[in-house]
Amino acid sequence: MTPDGKVQERSEIEKKDRWNVEALYENWDAWDLAFNAIPAPLSGPRWPSLSQDAKDLSKPETAKKILDETMKIDLELTRLYTYAHLRHDEDVGEEKAKASYMQARSLLYAFREEISWFDPALLQLSEKALENLLSSSLLEDYLIYLKKIVRLKPYILSGSEEKLMTFAEKALDVSHRAFGSLNNADLKFPLCKNEKGELCELTLGTYQLYMKSYDRTLRKEAFIHLHKTFGAYENTLSDLLQGEVTAHVFRKKARGYPSCLTAALYPNLVEDSVYTSLIRSVRKHLPSLHEYVKLRKKALKYDSFHVYDLSVPMVEGMDAHFSYEEAVEAICESVAVLGKDYQSILREGLTKARWVDLYENKRKRSGAYSSGCYGSFPYILMNYHGTFRDVMTLTHEAGHSMHTYFSGKCQKYQDHQYPIFLAEVASTFHEELLFRYFLEKTDTPDKRAYLINQKIDDIRNTLFRQTLFAEFELFLHETAEKEQPITPALLKERYFALTKEYFGEEVEMDPEVAFEWSRIPHFYYNFYVYQYATGISAAHVLAKRVLRKEASARESYLGFLSSGGSKDPIATLKYAGVDMTSEESVDAILTSFKELVKELGKLMENKS
């Protein structure tokens, strides 16, 4: 973004501020060359060496040959896909990137169709044959991979049915892709006025910035304009969301899972009770959130308090601007407790190696994420504006990236991908370390109050808000499972009611609140958001252990980062030092939230 607030074209962003996709492929020509080298069949299978053709999987040497070839091709296709999706997200309206992204996805679907026979054929073997495979020294490298398949035996279909399921995946993904195109490229928002009457550009990126502005006129205008724009498409967006949920119901029914929730959690070795107990724990602690809202309303001296007042700092004059270089320095210093090697890898990645695509440009995907593939950099997408929140977002994504880095470095390809349940632990662990780093450096009560306010808002957004989302998502799926229609009216009514329950009577609920469901990308991710809440809960416990320098705390945490998918996720966290089957892990951070609210209240009283 330019100093006058204009969002730049992609071509205007300096190379040093763009991610190093050239490390994957030098340019589109190189990508095209690699893509076109994949055999295109005139007829029959594209990868004949992987066709079933009466292969006897009971022979370890046969199974190993198929698995070796499968992993080699999967790695190659994933690399092609990663480059295409990164280039696509740089500018979602660019035609070459869009077409190549679709080509790469189609190729991955084709590959999965051709190997879809493997799991059913494996599971049709006798118990003795399976036992022989799992005990064979030839398949030692694939033992973990094979055990995960065997665990899914109750929900694996026949070979022909599995092939049909892979055929269906491309169609079932349409709602998700259509929402992404609408959200990131097609929707345009009206200009907003600030308190001086000046016009300000509204995008998904600037919206997050405006919500933290002390200019209440700008916050209100941005909130109303953004949600009214989404609300104007409520029927389309309702149909897209229903399409996504219907796809989940289809998969659940086709495989015989008892619920959509189980269908999403069981393959990741997570019990439904983890999800439902999270909601119970958070609801039990809602009075603490209501107390915080009262404190915020009092501190801001508002007669009426609105949702667009939830993110503005309660302490003025403390919200410094951080250059990217200052952000990197703070982040690297905050992780010193993890050792010099960890620091140097991270610093190199965030600077010279160019892991990060830093600034917003026109038609760039909104938000932030960490991505990549085995053997690549862990790439980070950002829309950096230099706020304190942006620094926290950067360390969050850097935490993901370091998890990916160590898992890829320490695990074989087939075992490197850490379970989705663990995905938000390292990221929120990084946030906890950075918060503690800044807190230790505070030299005034105002700065301490500002930082505690920021931390409270982190927990509010990551634990309370994501649990609200999780509860809404569960409601959507349970509604669809009962074969009840998901209409705009139902969505608005339920979302509005949940928001009021979570934030309490002090918040005046503007009608635009009812449209927020329509703009949340994670509702298309199939029960993902709860992991932000469980992740921050686990990270809170683990960070405390490391910062207190408890015996082997650092080593066990680094072991957690390096484990990839080599263990079940609950066991992996237990090894690191936290038991997520117990409500105590969630209660611990909720208790900390309550204590932080109490401390902030005292600081604000002394200030006034």
Residue 225 lies in a domain: no
Task: Tell me 139's DSSP state.
Answer: G
Residue 589 lies in a domain: no
CA distance 382 to 364: 10
Computed from CA positions of residues 536, 541, 544, 545, in that sequence, does the dihedral angle turn out positive or negative?
negative
| Sequence-separated contacts (24+) of 187-195 with Cβ below 8 Å | 187/229, 187/230, 187/233, 188/229, 189/225, 189/226, 189/229, 190/225, 190/229, 192/218, 192/221, 192/222, 192/225, 193/217, 193/218, 193/221, 194/218, 194/221
CA 307 to chain centre: 23
In the structure, what pLDDT confidence band is assigned to residue 40 with cuts at 50, 70 and 90?
confident
CA triplet 270, 166, 53: central angle to 5 degrees?
110
Task: Tell me 271's DSSP state.
Answer: -
CA distance 141 to 123: 19
In the structure, what pLDDT confidence band is assigned to residue 389 with cuts at 50, 70 and 90?
confident
Query: Which tokens hold the place of 370?
Result: 């960490």
The mean pLDDT of 59-65, rounded to a whole number, is: 96
CA distance 431 to 453: 14
Residue 120 lies in a domain: yes
Strands 356-357 and 379-381: what pairing? parallel
pLDDT at 45: 85
More confident residue, 441 or 54: 441
Query: Which tokens hold the place of 384?
Result: 């950096």
Q: Is the pLDDT of residue 3 over 50?
A: no
Q: Is the pLDDT of residue 141 over 90?
A: yes
Computed from CA positions of residues 597, 603, 605, 608, in that sequence, does the dihedral angle turn out positive or negative?
negative
Query: Which tokens hold the place of 332?
Result: 């690297």
Q: Is 94 a catalytic residue?
A: no
CA distance 482 to 200: 45
Specify the number of domains making up the chain: 1
Q: Is the pLDDT of residue 57 over 90?
A: yes
Residue 74 lies in a domain: yes
Q: Is the pLDDT of residue 166 over 90?
A: no
Q: Is the pLDDT of residue 608 over 80?
A: no
Query: Which tokens hold the place of 452?
Result: 């505690």
Going from the C-alpha of 413 to that of each of 139, 152, 277, the distances in angstroms are 14, 20, 34
pLDDT at 138: 97
The mean pLDDT of 408-420, rounded to a whole number, is: 95
Q: What is the mean pLDDT of the chain?
A: 94
- How do residues 78-132 score in pLDDT, each as one tens digit? 999 999 999 999 999 899 999 999 999 999 999 998 999 999 999 989 999 999 9
CA distance 579 to 542: 11
Instruction: Flag the least confident range among 128-137, 309-318, 447-456.
Output: 309-318
Of 91, 176, 183, 85, nearest to 379 by C-alpha is 85
Which residues make Cβ contacts (< 8 Å) with residue 43, sequence separation at least 6? none
CA 4 to chain centre: 31
- How do residues 167-194 score in pLDDT, each as one tens digit? 898 889 999 999 999 998 899 999 999 9
CA 46 to chain centre: 33
pLDDT at 55: 85
Alpha helix segments (H runs only) across 116-158: 118-123, 127-135, 143-151
pLDDT at 582: 83
Name the residue type at position 231.
G
The mean pLDDT of 535-550, rounded to a whole number, is: 94
The mean pLDDT of 38-50, rounded to a whole number, is: 84
Residue 20 lies in a domain: yes
Which residues make Cβ contacts (< 8 Å) with residue 44, sequence separation at least 6? 51
The mean pLDDT of 317-322, rounded to a whole number, is: 80
Q: Is the pLDDT of residue 263 over 60?
A: yes
CA atoms within 13 A on the CB side of 186: 9
Q: What is the domain extent for residue 25? A: 10-172
Residue 518 lies in a domain: no
CA distance 449 to 34: 54
Residue 75 lies in a domain: yes
Q: What is the CATH number of the domain that holds 163?
A: 1.20.140.70
In the structure, what pLDDT confidence band is assigned to residue 302 with cuts at 50, 70 and 90?
very high
The mean pLDDT of 418-440, rounded to a whole number, is: 94
Instruction: Single out the catalytic residue among 397, 432, 473, 512.
Output: 397
Query: Which tokens hold the place of 540?
Result: 């809170």
Per-residue three-class SS string for 311-340: CCCCCCCCCCCCCHHHHHHHHHHHCHHHCH
CA distance 361 to 130: 53
pLDDT at 563: 96
Q: Is the pLDDT of residue 550 over 90?
A: yes
Q: Phi, psi (5° rounding) for residue 371?
A: -145, 180
The mean pLDDT of 334-362, rounded to a whole number, is: 97
Q: Is the pLDDT of residue 5 over 70?
A: no
CA triplet 64, 70, 74: central angle to 5 degrees?
150
Percentage of the chain beyond pLDDT 90 is: 86
Which residues make Cβ contacts (< 8 Å) with residue 379, sequence separation at least 6? 19, 21, 86, 355, 356, 357, 370, 371, 372, 401
The mean pLDDT of 128-151, rounded to a whole number, is: 95
CA distance 238 to 494: 13
Residue 156 lies in a domain: yes
Instruction: Flag the least confident range among 89-93, 223-227, 490-494.
Output: 89-93
Predicted TM-score of the model (pTM)? 0.84
Please, are residues 458 and 427 in contact by the beta-carbon 8 Å criterion?
Answer: no
Q: Is the pLDDT of residue 52 over 90?
A: no
The mean pLDDT of 431-438, rounded to a whole number, is: 96
Per-residue three-class SS string for 368-411: CEEECCCCCCCEEECCCCCCHHHHHHHHHHHHHHHHHHHHHHHC
pLDDT at 287: 97
- Outline where DSSP puts E strands in 90-227: 192-193, 199-200
Query: Which tokens hold the place of 505?
Result: 């009577």
Q: Is the pLDDT of residue 73 over 70?
A: yes
